[in-house]
Chains A and B, each alone.
Chain A
Amino acid sequence: MIGNYPLHLMILVLLWGYIYTSWSLMGRLGLVSFGHGAFMGIGAYTVVMLWNHFGWSPWAGALAALAFAAAVAILIGYPCFRFRIVGHYFALVTLALSEVARLVIVALRDQTGGSLGATPNSALHGGATAAPGALQFSDKQVWFWIVLAFWLAGLWVWRAVDRSMARLALQAISEEEEAAASIGIHVARAKLRITLISALMTCAGGVLYAQYQLYVNPDTVCGIGISLQMVFGAIAGGMFVMLGPTVGAAFTLLLAEGLRLAFGNRYPALDSTLYGAMLVLFIIYMPKGILGAALEALRARTARPIAPRKSSGMPSA
C-alpha cells in the first residue's frame, strides 16, 4: 500500500497530464491557445457554484459546465477561424478570453467568493468517506482510479485524432492555410472541431480538479497564469508526442517537490525560477521538449538500418 503523499503526487501528475494533453491536441497543430484557463475555470466554478447555490449534483453540474464551455469555445473559435485569426493574434485573443473569465469570477465576488476562492459544501456527513452523488471522496485511491481513467481516455482521444483524416487536414492547415483550403479542406470547421474537443476535455479537467481539491480559486483554475502553465507544461514535456504532456506534468511537479524537499520553504520561488530559465532554454535549444528530444535521439540511434517508417492514418502503397 502506498502512502497518501505519493498517491497525491501521482493523482496530480495524471490530472495535469490529462489537462496538458487536452491542450496539446490543439497546440501541436499550430493552434496555440492562451485561453484554456477559461475552460478549466468554467468547469471548476460552474460545478461548485451550481452545487453550493442551487444544490445541483456535480454530475448535472458537469453537464452544464460542458455545455457552457462548448458555447464559449464556439463563440470565440468560430469568428477566429472564420476571419483567419492565426498565430500570435490567435494566442492574444484567447489570452483576453482567459482574463475575461478570471475577472468575471472575481467581479461576482458575492456569489463566487472573489479572489478568496470558494469551497464546495461538504456532503460527507457523519464520517462517511464517499458521497458519489456529490462527487466527493475522502479516499485518495478512488481519485487515483478516476483520474487514471480520464488520463487514459485523453490518450485514447489523442490516438483517435492522430489516426483520423482530421489530423492530416489540420496538419495541412497548420503548414499552409490557403493551400489546405484550395484542396477542399473546410478550414474553419476542422479547426472548430478540434477546439471543441480540446476545450471540453479541459473543462472536464477543471471539474475533476475542483472536486479533488474541494477548493477553487480564480488564480489557480483560471486566468493567464494557469493558461501559461498549460502551454509551458506541454512544451517542456514535448507537445508533439503522445506522452509528452504527461512527462511535462511529471517533470514540473517533481522539480517543485524535489526542491521543496531539498531546501524546505526557505526559497519559496526557487522552483519556478529554475523552471522559467529552463523553459527559455527548452524553447531555444530543444523546442520538441524532453520526451520529443529523447525519442528523436533514440530513433537516430536505432534507425541506422533502413526501416520503413510506419505512417499513421495513411494507407500504405
Chain B
Amino acid sequence: MEVFDIFLLEAILNGLLLGGLLALLSLGLNLIFGVIDVVWICYAELIMCGMYAVYYLHVQYHWPLLAAMAAAVVIVAVLGVILHQFVIRPVLGAEPINQLLVTGGVLFFLQAAATLAFGIEFRNLGVTLPSIRLGEMSFSAARLVAFCVALAGMLGMYLFLSRSYLGTAIRAISQDRAIMPLMGVSPARIFVLASALGGALAGLGACLLVLQYDVHPAIGLSFGPITFLICVMGGLGSMAGGFIAAFVFAQFISVGGFLFHLEWGYVLAFAFFIAMMFWRPQGILGRR
C-alpha cells in the first residue's frame, strides 16, 4: 500500500494559505477595476510603499508594530487617492490603453524612486513568528496570520459593499456608470472612495507581506504580475471570480513548485492562465 505523501499535503495546505493572501491582493485591484474601469498596473508598487512604511516606522522610528501597520494602511490609502486624483483622473476620458500605460509609468517611477530613496538593499523587519508543527508538517505562523487577516479583510469588504449605503453606491456605479449620476450618486466622489479603499487593501496586503518577505525596490515585480493575472482569470471586476482564481493559482505555484522547482510552479500557473484565456476570455465569472 502506498503511503500518502505528507509533504504533498503540506504543499497543498501552504498553497491554501498563499491563496488567501493572493485573494486579498487581487481584491483591491478588482475593486478599482470594477468601479473605475482602470487597471492599476502599479498596484504591487503601492504594496511595496506600504512595506517600506511598516519597515521604517517600526525599525527606524521604533513605533509599535501594530501602530506602524495601521499607519501604513492609511499611508497607502492616501497614496491611492493621490494616484487617482493626479494620474487617473486626467486620463479618464482617454483611450483605455492609455489608462493602462499611465499606471505602468507610475510603476517605473515608484520603483526607481524607491531605489533612489531607500537603496537596493533587502530590508528585513526583524520580526519572526514561530512555525507551527502539525504532525510532520510545519507551517509558518506568518502565513497563517496572513491567511486569517486576509479572510477577515475580505469578509469586512463584503459586508461593507453589501450592507452599507456607500457600499451600495459603489456597487451601483460599477454596474452602470452612465445612469447612476442621474440617480444622484456623484461618480467623482465614489471614485475617490474606491481608490482609498483599494489603497487601504494594498496597505493591508503590505502589512501581511512584510512579515514573510524582505522589502526591496523590485519586490513589486514578484507580486504584481500574479495579482493582475488572477484578476483577469477571475474576470476583471468580479471579486468572487478573483477569489476562486487566487486559490487555483496558489495551488499551481505551491504544488507545482513542490513537484518540480519553484519557477516551474510559476511557469505552470502562467501557462494555465494563457490557456484559460483562450477557453474563457472573459474570466471564470466575468462579464464583458
A residues near B (Cβ < 8 Å) are 30, 32, 76, 79-80, 83-85, 87-89, 91-93, 95-97, 99-100, 103-104, 106-107, 224-225, 228, 231-232, 235, 267-273, 275-277, 279-280, 282-285, 287
The 4 closest A-B pairs by CB, nearest first: A276-B109, A272-B112, A279-B105, A276-B108
The contact sample of 12 A-B pairs, CB cut-off 8 A, is: A30-B97, A83-B278, A85-B281, A93-B277, A95-B228, A100-B271, A106-B263, A107-B261, A107-B267, A273-B113, A276-B108, A279-B108
B169 at the interface (CB under 8 A from A): no
B56 at the interface (CB under 8 A from A): no
Question: In chain A, what residue has the closest Cβ to B280?
Answer: A83
Point out the residues of chain A lying under 8 angstroms from B109, CB to CB.
Answer: 273, 276-277, 279-280
Point out the residues of chain B lying under 8 angstroms from A84, CB to CB.
Answer: 281
B residues near A (Cβ < 8 Å) are 39, 87, 90-91, 94, 96-98, 100-102, 104-113, 115-116, 120, 217, 221, 224-225, 228-229, 232, 261, 263-264, 266-267, 270-271, 273-274, 277-278, 281
Which one, B87, B108, B273, contacts A228 given CB within 8 A?
B108
Which one, B104, B232, B261, B273, contacts A232 given CB within 8 A?
B104
Contact between chains at B274 and A276 (CB < 8 Å): no
Given contacts A106-B263, A273-B112, A276-B112, contact A32 B101 (CB under 8 A): yes
Contact between chains at B105 and A96 (CB < 8 Å): no
Given contacts A89-B232, A268-B116, contact A96 B273 (CB under 8 A): yes
Question: In chain A, what residue has the closest Cβ to B89?
Answer: A284
Point out the residues of chain B lying under 8 angstroms from A277, CB to CB.
Answer: 105, 109
Rounded to whole Å, the gap between the CB of A264 and the closest CB of chain B is 14
Rounded to whole Å, the gap between the CB of A101 and the closest CB of chain B is 9
Point out the residues of chain A lying under 8 angstroms from B225, CB to CB.
Answer: 95-96, 99, 224
Contact between chains at B274 and A103 (CB < 8 Å): no
Rounded to whole Å, the gap between the CB of B182 and the closest CB of chain A is 27
Point out the residues of chain A lying under 8 angstroms from B277, CB to CB.
Answer: 79-80, 83, 85, 89, 93
Contact between chains at A267 and B116 (CB < 8 Å): yes
Contact between chains at A272 and B274 (CB < 8 Å): no
Point out the residues of chain A lying under 8 angstroms from B87, CB to CB.
Answer: 280, 284
Contact between chains at B267 and A269 (CB < 8 Å): no
Contact between chains at B97 and A97 (CB < 8 Å): no
Bound state CA distance, A85 and B288, in angstroms?
11
Point out the residues of chain A lying under 8 angstroms from B270, CB to CB.
Answer: 96-97, 99-100, 103
Question: In chain B, what residue has the closest Cβ to A229?
Answer: B108
Rounded to whole Å, the gap between the CB of A235 and the closest CB of chain B is 7
Rounded to whole Å, the gap between the CB of B107 and the closest CB of chain A is 7
Contact between chains at B112 and A269 (CB < 8 Å): yes
Contact between chains at A287 and B278 (CB < 8 Å): no
Bound state CA distance, A158 and B276, in angstroms?
34
Contact between chains at B96 and A87 (CB < 8 Å): yes
Quick one: which of B101, B229, B267 has the most chain A CB within 10 A?
A: B101
Rounded to whole Å, the gap between the CB of A253 and the closest CB of chain B is 16
Point out the residues of chain A lying under 8 angstroms from B108, CB to CB.
Answer: 228, 232, 272, 275-276, 279
